């Protein structure tokens, strides 16, 4: 396959300014992206900086070899440089303002990372690039963001709230705050103290609409501007594999849930499976947090107190663990197996219980005793049975085949060749479920088998590829709307295009099949969106659809000629981005 097509098949394409690597280096870079967890601070890509004399995008920084700047730096400025290099883990010595051998090595390492000549001495322009990077690093509340992202006081929020809840505990705290605030506001509304609009502003918009927008916006920025698009495409795969829907899972949960999935992508599948299943987002989405063993302490308490409550297990998550996440129904498991998994899952997701462990497991609703699944009896302590079950399911060859099939359908073809599935499954089995090995094998499978197939791009992937191609031009603001209300918010646009990841209609996630996306209505939405974007691009005069068509389709190709024959700029953009060869990769 041509590298341009591979970059669109396994990543998010390329911008006009990006230099395409040769095949060997591209594949090497793609696989390196999958080997370690990248930093995640997407707001830095749109942060503004205080250096009006410098054009980062326009200056040829790599040729600035003679304009040494260090003689003009005072000790305070040199210390700032050392602090930045230390923060980026390139410098390990004292912050003393003296540029000795350690500082020189760190500067050379920074120059290498940024594709400069490795001299160990900063030129004038390199120093200014370093200043920009310094201003774009750090927590989001310290960044100078565009005007539309600086004031969220209307919803009693601040710029610091743009940050994902990075720990499950923080996400749970926010989730419980949501419940408390909702009840407080409802009471005030019932007493006539506040209008309904205040309930909407301080509860619905603050605790639901805002995090829904924030978490989609954050991932969008990383996909469009970030340096690890290959890693992010696999992240896209896994958040759809372990799907949750915000209609059944409060807004403060799903962003942290996505980060939890991301944090496992360089480990083992069994760890990813376990963390996805016990996470409060999944527990709430499939209502497993309501599942109560009929012989549990809680059930006995209800009977003793003659509570009008029925203690029963909820099979939803148990069934999906077997059907969607691991073996598939082809394994021939029984209803008794589903029940066994459901019993093991009782007690998880108890965020309202004060007596839980760090993963929100409580013994009170857990069904006591040993539980049998697929011929094996699980006798571990109650809180350890789920981990043991996930480990066993992850090691099953049928799970390897299922994961390989899903990856092949997502990255290679709607009906992938058996050889591709076996190739990825073999990597899964040999590596014992190591996700780095599995992801890298998928890249190899795309190269090996992808030439004979084309994948129709889901709307979200298509959207990100367009905005990466044009160099951004994303709507950044939050206007208090939910994604199903008409607005310019990025999550509203994705929902209008028919594909907002957090709104998956079923637990089996969004379809990878072209037949589910190729409808007149869905195509009309794409055409209308590109038309709207083209009007903005034309005013800015920074994107050339004709030259990009040469780059993506090949100079002189029928696709490039079709774009060149457009009657005006708007139609050229539509012909480019809605061309069958752009909507497929």
What are the tokens at 25?
């280096």
Closest-CA residue to 575 (of 534, 539, 540, 538): 534
Residues with Cβ within 8 Å of residue 310, at least 6 apart in sequence: none
Planar angle of CA 140, 144, 145, nearest 5 degrees = 80
Closest-CA residue to 399 (of 326, 337, 319): 326
- The reported pLDDT for the residue numbered 20 is 65
**Torsion angle of alpha carbons 559, 562, 564, 569, nearest 10°?**
-110
| CA distances in angstroms from 138 to 32, 132, 255, 315, listed in the order given | 24, 12, 20, 44
What are the tokens at 452?
């004979």
pTM for this model (two decimals)? 0.90
HEC profile for 522-571?
HHHHHHHHHHHHHHHHHHHCCCCHHHHHHHHHCCCCHHHHHHHCCCCHHH
**Torsion angle of alpha carbons 507, 460, 494, 223, nearest 10°?**
110
- How far from the centroid of its chain's Cα atoms is residue 59's Cα? 32
Count of CB atoms situated within 10 Å of the CB of 210: 21
- The reported pLDDT for the residue numbered 486 is 84
HEC profile for 373-421?
ECCEEECCCHHHHHHHHHHHHHHCHHHHHHHHHHHHHHHCCCCCCHHHH
- How far from the centroid of its chain's Cα atoms is residue 361's Cα? 26
Tally the C-alpha atoms within 13 A of residue 177's C-alpha that lie toward its C-beta.
14
Spatial separation of the C-alpha atoms in residues 362 and 369, rounded to whole Å: 15
| CA distances in angstroms from 368 to 303, 343, 378, listed in the order given | 16, 8, 11
pLDDT, tens digit only, all 585 positions of the chain: 688 888 999 999 988 777 666 778 889 999 999 999 998 989 988 988 765 344 444 444 444 444 455 667 888 889 989 999 998 899 999 999 999 999 999 999 999 888 788 999 998 878 878 887 887 777 888 888 999 898 899 999 999 999 888 899 999 999 999 899 999 999 999 999 999 999 999 988 998 899 999 999 999 999 999 989 999 999 999 999 999 998 888 778 888 999 999 999 999 999 999 999 999 999 999 999 999 999 999 999 999 888 888 899 999 999 999 999 999 999 999 999 999 999 999 999 999 998 899 999 999 999 999 999 999 999 999 999 999 999 999 999 999 999 999 999 999 999 999 999 999 999 999 999 999 999 999 999 999 999 899 999 999 999 999 999 999 999 999 999 888 888 889 999 999 999 998 899 899 999 999 999 999 999 999 999 999 999 999 998 889 999 999 999 999 999 999 999 999 999 999 999 999 999 999
DSSP state at residue 201: I
C-alpha gyration radius of the chain: 26
Maximal CA-CA distance, the chain: 85
End-to-end CA distance of the chain: 10
What are the tokens at 41?
């601070």
For the chain, which domains are there?
A: 48-135 (1.10.101), 149-260 (no CATH), 280-395 (no CATH), 455-583 (no CATH)
| CA distances in angstroms from 415 to 380, 399, 412, listed in the order given | 41, 19, 8
C-beta separation of 225 from 265 below 8 A: no
- The reported pLDDT for the residue numbered 572 is 98
């Amino acid at each position: 396959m041509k590298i341009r097509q591979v970059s669109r098949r396994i990543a998010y394409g390329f911008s006009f300014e990006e230099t395409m690597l040769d095949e060997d280096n591209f594949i090497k870079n793609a696989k390196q992206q999958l080997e370690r967890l990248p930093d995640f601070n997407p707001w830095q890509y749109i942060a503004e900086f205080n250096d009006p004399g410098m054009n980062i995008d326009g200056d040829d920084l790599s040729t600035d070899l003679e304009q040494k700047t260090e003689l003009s730096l005072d000790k305070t400025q040199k210390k700032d440089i050392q602090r930045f290099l230390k923060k980026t883990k390139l410098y390990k010595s004292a912050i003393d303002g003296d540029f000795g051998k350690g500082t020189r090595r760190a500067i050379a390492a920074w120059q290498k990372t940024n594709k400069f000549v490795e001299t160990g001495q900063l030129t004038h322009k390199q120093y200014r690039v370093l200043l920009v990077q310094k201003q774009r690093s750090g927590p989001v509340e310290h960044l100078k963001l565009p005007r539309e992202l600086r004031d969220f006081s209307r919803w009693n929020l601040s710029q610091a709230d743009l940050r994902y809840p990075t720990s499950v505990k923080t996400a749970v705290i926010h989730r419980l705050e949501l419940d408390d605030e909702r009840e407080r506001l409802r009471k005030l509304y019932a007493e006539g103290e506040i209008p309904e609009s205040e309930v909407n502003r301080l509860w619905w918009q603050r605790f639901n609409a805002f995090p829904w927008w924030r978490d989609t916006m954050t991932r969008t920025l990383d996909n469009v501007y970030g340096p690890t698009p290959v890693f992010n495409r696999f992240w896209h795969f896994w958040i759809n594999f372990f799907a949750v829907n915000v209609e059944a899972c409060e807004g403060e949960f799903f962003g942290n849930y996505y980060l939890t999935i991301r944090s496992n992508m360089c480990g083992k599948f069994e760890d990813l499976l376990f963390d996805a299943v016990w996470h409060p987002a999944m527990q709430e989405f499939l209502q497993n947090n309501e599942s109560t063993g009929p012989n549990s302490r809680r059930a006995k308490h209800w009977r003793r107190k003659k509570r009008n409550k029925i203690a029963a297990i909820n099979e939803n998550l148990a069934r999906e663990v077997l059907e969607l996440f691991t073996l598939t129904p082809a394994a021939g498991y029984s209803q008794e197996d589903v029940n066994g998994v459901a019993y093991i899952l009782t007690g998880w997701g108890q965020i309202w219980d004060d007596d839980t462990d760090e993963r929100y497991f409580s013994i009170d609703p857990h069904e006591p005793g040993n539980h049998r699944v697929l011929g094996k009896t699980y006798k571990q302590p109650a809180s350890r049975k789920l981990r043991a079950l996930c480990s066993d399911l992850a090691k099953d060859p049928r799970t390897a085949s299922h994961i390989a099939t899903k990856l092949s359908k997502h990255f290679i073809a709607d009906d992938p060749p058996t050889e591709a599935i076996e190739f990825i499954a073999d990597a899964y089995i040999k590596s014992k479920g190591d996700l780095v090995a599995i992801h890298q094998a998928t890249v190899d499978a795309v190269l090996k088998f992808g030439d004979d197939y084309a994948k129709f791009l889901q709307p979200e992937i298509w959207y990100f590829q367009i905005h990466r191609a044009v160099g951004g031009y994303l709507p950044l603001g939050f206007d208090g709307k939910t994604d199903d209300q008409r607005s310019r918010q990025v999550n509203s646009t994705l929902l209008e295009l028919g594909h907002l990841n957090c709104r998956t209609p079923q637990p089996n996630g969004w379809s990878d099949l072209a037949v589910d996306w190729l409808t007149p209505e869905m195509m009309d939405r794409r055409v209308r969106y590109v038309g709207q974007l083209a009007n903005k691009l034309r005013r800015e005069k920074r994107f050339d659809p004709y030259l990009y068509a040469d780059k993506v389709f090949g100079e002189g190709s029928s696709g490039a000629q079709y774009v060149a024959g457009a009657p005006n700029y708007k139609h050229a953009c539509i012909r480019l981005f809605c061309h069958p060869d752009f909507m497929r990769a």
